[in-house]
């Protein structure tokens, strides 16, 4: 058994995802409790140059695994390579950010290692023997559940993005090149191309500010109005399930239990009533501003600031005032 905590480093477009670096910092904050080192796992092709970035966030070393089959994210070979190494080295834990990719690969790793999985944790703690305890949000966000593993080896954990306040340091981890390759039988599918949605706005789960619209937006023109506000704030644009079901926004913009869970510093809910399905996805936002003409809407119970009124009157005025302040 190695006294290491491994963190999967997701990379895209020539950089490591912020959610993965947050996971590194979270692991580093707990590693001292069990005298463990933090090791970042960087899989891909021609990714060696990204390794120093992980060192700045607390990785003591970065294991680089490069292969043509790993060039584009594919959960099968990713899980195979990581499980191969874990069976030999037996790290204390393997952590991935609870992103779509992390949620895809982590359960596969757990199955291959015959280990448990603490999924979508909003906080983690490590005991002196290395046992991980994770706090998760359950019952649509009404309760927090705390769970732990039976054995402090090969514990698989996913950590929700943007729930832990972390800062980069001036560290520099040791870079190690691994010769591990995925087994041929793990290439059950071959990813030919990843077609990314093109947008200049931040991705929802990574955004510090989100302007979100619900059924009250009424039309695509209503969301165009919200986009203007988002442009002023440098924000992402989200939507409730009712807006998505109504064809006003793509499912990739949906916030909620059946959409994306977000944790921005500021969430502006416009024309959203506040059904529990939606609240699950955004209730951990640091500040929530609600704009709704129904003063009894449930969203106001969660909001830090509320404006009762017609969003079609309020949002344009707010946009113009913010332009004056920001510009």
Which residue ranges form the domains of the chain, and what is each CATH number?
4-186 (3.40.50.620), 204-326 (3.40.50.1220)
- Where does residue 56 rank: exposed (0-12), middle (13-18), buried (19+ CB within 10 A)? middle
Question: CA separation (Å) from 190 to 73, 74, 76, 193, 275?
Answer: 10, 8, 10, 9, 40
In the chain, the N- to C-terminal Cα span, in Å, equals: 56
DSSP 203: P
Q: What's residue 326's pLDDT? A: 87
Structure tokens at 106: 């982590």
**φ and ψ of 217, to 5 deg:** -70, -25
Q: What's residue 13's pLDDT? A: 77
Strands (E), the chain: 4-8, 11-12, 15-16, 37-44, 61-66, 93-97, 117-126, 132-138, 143-148, 155-159, 174-178, 209-213, 236-239, 266-270, 287-292, 305-308
> Which pTM does this prediction carry?
0.85
Q: What's residue 197's pLDDT? A: 66
- Closest CA relative to residue 297, chosen from 266, 276, 318: 276
Q: Note down pLDDT in tens along the chain; length 327 residues.
A: 679 999 999 988 788 898 999 999 899 989 989 999 999 999 998 888 888 888 888 889 999 999 888 888 999 999 999 999 999 999 999 999 999 999 999 999 999 999 989 999 999 999 999 999 999 988 767 788 999 998 899 999 999 988 877 776 666 778 899 988 888 888 888 777 777 666 678 889 889 999 999 999 999 999 999 999 999 999 999 999 999 999 999 999 999 988 998 989 999 999 999 999 899 899 889 999 999 999 999 999 999 999 999 999 999 999 999 999 886
């Amino acid at each position: 058994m190695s006294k290491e905590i491994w963190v999967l480093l997701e990379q895209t477009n020539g950089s490591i995802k912020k959610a993965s670096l947050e996971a590194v910092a979270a692991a580093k904050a707990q590693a001292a409790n069990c005298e463990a080192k933090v090791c970042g796992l960087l899989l891909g092709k021609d990714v060696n140059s990204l390794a120093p970035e992980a060192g700045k966030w607390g990785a003591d070393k970065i294991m680089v695994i490069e292969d043509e089959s790993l060039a584009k994210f594919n959960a099968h070979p990713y899980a195979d390579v990581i499980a191969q190494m874990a069976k030999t080295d037996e790290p204390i834990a393997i952590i991935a950010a609870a992103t779509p990719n992390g949620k895809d690969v982590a359960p596969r790793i757990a199955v291959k290692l015959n280990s448990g999985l603490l999924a979508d944790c909003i906080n983690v703690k490590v005991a002196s023997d290395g046992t991980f305890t994770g706090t998760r949000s359950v019952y649509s966000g009404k309760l927090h559940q705390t769970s732990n593993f039976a054995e402090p080896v090969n514990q698989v954990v996913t950590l929700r993005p943007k729930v832990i306040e972390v800062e980069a340091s001036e560290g520099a981890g040791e870079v190690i090149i691994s010769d591990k390759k995925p087994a041929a039988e793990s290439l059950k599918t071959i990813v030919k191309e990843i077609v990314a949605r093109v947008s200049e706005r931040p991705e929802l789960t990574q955004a510090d500010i989100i302007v979100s619209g619900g059924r009250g937006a009424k039309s695509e023109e209503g969301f165009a109005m919200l986009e203007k506000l988002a442009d002023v704030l440098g924000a992402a644009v989200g939507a409730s399930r009712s807006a998505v079901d109504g064809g006003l926004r793509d499912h990739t913009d949906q916030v909620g239990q059946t959409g994306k869970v977000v944790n921005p510093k500021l969430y502006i809910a416009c024309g959203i009533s506040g059904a529990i399905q939606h609240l699950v996805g955004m209730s951990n936002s640091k500040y929530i501003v609600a704009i709704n003409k129904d003063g009894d809407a449930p969203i106001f119970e969660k909001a830090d600031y509320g404006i009762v009124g017609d969003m079609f009157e309020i949002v344009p005025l707010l946009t113009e005032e913010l332009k004056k302040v920001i510009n």
